Structure formats: C-alpha cells, structure tokens
Amino acid sequence: MEAQHNCELNACLLRCVINASNQNDHQTLRDLGLSQALVERAKNMNADVFIRLSRFSIANITFDARRFGLMLDFVEQEREMDILVNKMITLEASQSMLENLAGIDPREYRDRRKALDMPPASQGRPQSLNDEQTTILYQALSKYPEPADNSTNDLLNWYCQLGEETGLPLAKIWQQNMKFG
C-alpha cells in the first residue's frame, strides 16, 4: 500500500513540475528547489521514464496541520454558504438581495438558477405584500427576530427561516424588511 501511495504522490509531484514548467511558473519551481536543467529533463521525459520515476521516493513531504485545519474551516464555511445561497434562490431570493447579503453577482445568480433547474428570474421589483401577507410576515418576525450580530451566515439563515415559516418569496420579505427595517 505504501509503495502505491508513494507512486501516486510522486506522479502528482512530477505533473506539478511539468505543469509549472509549461506555465512558466518560476516561483513554484524555485519553491521545489529544482534547477533549470533538471526541470528541462523532467519536462522532456517520456511516459516510460515518468512511470518508472514515479516508483521512487523523490520528495520529503511535511504536513502543516494548523494550516490544513484553517483551510478546512474555510472550505467548509464556503460549502455551507453555497448550500445556504442555493436554498435562498429556491425560496425566491432576488439577485439584488443576494448581492447585498452575500456578494452574489448577476452572472453567478443566473448560473446558480440554471444549475438548480429554475426558470430565469423575473425582472423588476417584486410586488409589495398584501395585508394578509404582511400580517403573516410580522407574526413570523415576532417569533424570529432579526439576529443581533447580523453576520452574513446568521442573516441568510434568518431569511430562510422566515421564508419557510411564511411561504412568502424571500425577495418580498427582504423588500418589506428594507422598507420598515
């Protein structure tokens, strides 16, 4: 198992060297500590040499656990944000709402709607809530007040909660909240 693991890691490293060379990424090549002559040899090797070289241990790898943890936190938060934004789109959040709350530009908004198999968004300002809808919204607002810290994640979750509770489109809830908030 270890030999196979080293083979895969070595192949990845060799591809990294070749790609860096092809893209003139001199910083990566410097970071790897490779001379220009060695880079040229790696770039010009054939498939047989590549496979054979992959079987040897060619690098000492260290793992930065602290950085890994930080990057994992970041990626997990991004993933949660993506899920939340997609949920908001299905709950009929407008592009302007999502741009204001989460920095979603029009192109990303359209792409997400397509990926979620939703029709193109309607243009213009949403209609105002009628009296019945306003009552439903204010009942939900009394149950779920706006989060005090107003972090992006908390606000997005709060709007989702309001949308699910009331059944109203998020664009209308946001518009109403902007009027009276």
Domain boundaries in the chain? 2-54, 66-180
Q: Which residue has the higher pLDDT, 131 or 59?
A: 131
Q: What whole-number distance in Å separates Cα of residue 89 and Cα of residue 26? A: 42
pTM beyond 0.85, yes or no: no
Q: What whole-number distance in Å separates Cα of residue 106 and Cα of residue 122? A: 13
The yes-or-no verdict on residue 172 having pLDDT over 50 is yes
The yes-or-no verdict on residue 61 having pLDDT over 90 is no
Burial status of residue 168 (CB atoms within 10 A of its CB: 0-12, 13-18, 19 or more): buried
Highest-scoring range by mean pLDDT, 27-41, 73-87, 132-146: 73-87
Q: For 100-126, what is each residue's pLDDT tens digit?
A: 999 999 999 999 999 999 988 877 777
Tokens, residue 16: 């990294």
For the chain, give the mean pLDDT.
89
The yes-or-no verdict on residue 36 having pLDDT over 60 is yes
Cβ contacts of 134 within 8 Å, gap of 6 or more:
176
Residue appearing with tokens 């009628």: 130
Nearest Cα to Cα of residue 88 among 178, 179, 2, 173: 173
Q: How confident is the model at residue 1 (pLDDT cuts 50, 70, 90)?
A: very low
The yes-or-no verdict on residue 164 having pLDDT over 90 is yes
The yes-or-no verdict on residue 156 having pLDDT over 50 is yes
The yes-or-no verdict on residue 169 having pLDDT over 90 is yes
Task: Tally the C-alpha atoms within 13 A of residue 55's C-alpha that lie toward its C-beta.
Answer: 5
Residue appearing with tokens 């107003």: 150
Task: Give the Cα-Cα-Cα angle 113, 103, 95 (nearest 5 degrees).
Answer: 40
Q: What whole-number distance in Å separates Cα of residue 115 and Cα of residue 180? A: 33
Task: State how far the alpha carbon of 2 is from the alpha carbons of 40, 51, 52, 59, in Å.
Answer: 29, 16, 16, 14
Q: For 74-92, what is each residue's pLDDT tens digit?
A: 999 999 999 999 999 999 9
Tokens, residue 174: 């946001």
